[in-house]
Amino acid sequence: MDRHLMTFGHGSRTCIGKNISIMKMGKLVPQIIRKFEIEWASDKPEWHVETFWFAKQHGVICRLRSRDLF
């Protein structure tokens, strides 16, 4: 999968913060999922993906509700 991930560039022009960013995302996303209940903001979500050079997502609107962990 790494060879298809072009978000941080590729080859000699790879972003120098790539490894730190991927590590932080790996820590942040599980924390968000653990601390919040995530649901669509509307009953009929309209999710569109636009691709030209990079994939852009539109209409991904969610509501976060704090979980009672204890």
For 13-29, what is each residue's pLDDT tens digit? Answer: 889 999 999 999 999 99
For residue 11, what pLDDT is reported?
Answer: 84
pLDDT bucket at 50, cuts 50 / 70 / 90: confident
> What is the rounded average pLDDT for all residues in the chain?
85
**CB atoms near residue 18 (< 10 Å):** 14
Q: Cα 59 to the chain's mean position, in Å? A: 14
Give the three-state DSSP class for 18.
Answer: helix
Q: Which ranges of 1-70 would DSSP assign to H, the alpha helix?
A: 18-35
In Å, how far are 25, 32, 35 from 69, measured between CA atoms? 22, 13, 7
DSSP 8-state symbol, 61: -
